[in-house]
Amino acid sequence: MASTNWQKEIQPLIKKYKGKKHPLDYNNVYQLLVMVVLSAQDSDRNINKLAPDLFKAFPDMKSLSNADAESLYPFIRKVRNFRNKTKWLLELSSQIKEDKYIPTTLEALTELPGIGRKSANVIMREAGVKAEGIIVDLHVVRVAPRLGLAVGSDPKKLEKQMMELLAPKDWGEVGMAISFLGREICRPTKPKCPECVMNKVCDYFKANNQDVLG
């Protein structure tokens, strides 16, 4: 919907969720980085459950860089695709070596094994550094086209469309805000449209709630 001033209309959503912590229950950037790698195609809930024991055994990047696959497996065996993720964690920890060397730019983060654009954008948002892109997770892939903010299902193309429509100052918060909206209100089935702060401009609401609009 090209006529919508998304820069203006997205503000209530950003305001609603601004600064709300990511659902991964981390205490520092090291923990976040590890948990982001582990959470790919798995649930935040599952990763949150196993994280305390993992971080008791490997409290920082240095200890992780001295680990091997056999010592990691017992802690992350219940994670989807755990063998590959173990390999990625061992590779990235041997590159970074210490917490203070964890990168916080999109380019440097996406060069690490197991870190794509979405993961890098999450880490940068939670670390409080200037955004270079927009978080596009599974919720955003569903919700952004529903709103009419972007079209398609390719995360990179959706991100590019949103970056063109929205001001860079909002990039850091908007992806996470749309994600929270998708988790709480804009559910895959039976979305709670009447409660949504975006229903005045939402394509899905307009198409499916004619009786409400009257």
pLDDT digits (tens, 9 = 90+) for 81-135: 999 999 999 999 999 999 999 999 999 999 999 999 999 999 999 999 999 999 9
CA end-to-end span of the chain: 21
Maximum separation of any 2 CA atoms in the chain, in Å: 64
Structural domains of the chain in order of their starting residue, each with its CATH number:
6-18+134-213 (1.10.1670.10), 29-127 (1.10.340.30)
Q: Which two tokens stand for residue 83?
A: 């063998």
Cα–Cα distance, 107 to 112 (Å, whole number): 9
Place of tokens 């970056």: 163
The number of C-alpha atoms within 13 Å of 110 and in the hemisphere containing its C-beta is 11
Helix, strand, coil distribution of the chain in percent, nearest 5: 65, 0, 35
Q: Which two tokens stand for residue 106?
A: 């999109």
DSSP category for residue 129: P
Dihedral sign, CA of 132, 179, 75, 126?
A: positive
The pLDDT of residue 210 = 60
Cα–Cα distance, 9 to 189 (Å, whole number): 24
The SS3 assignment for 108 reads helix
**In the chain, which stretches have pLDDT less than 70?**
1-2, 210-214
The pLDDT of residue 1 = 42
pTM (two decimals): 0.94
Are 143 and 198 within 8 A, CB to CB?
no
What are the phi and psi torsion angles at 130 (to 5°)? Answer: -60, 130
The pLDDT of residue 211 = 55
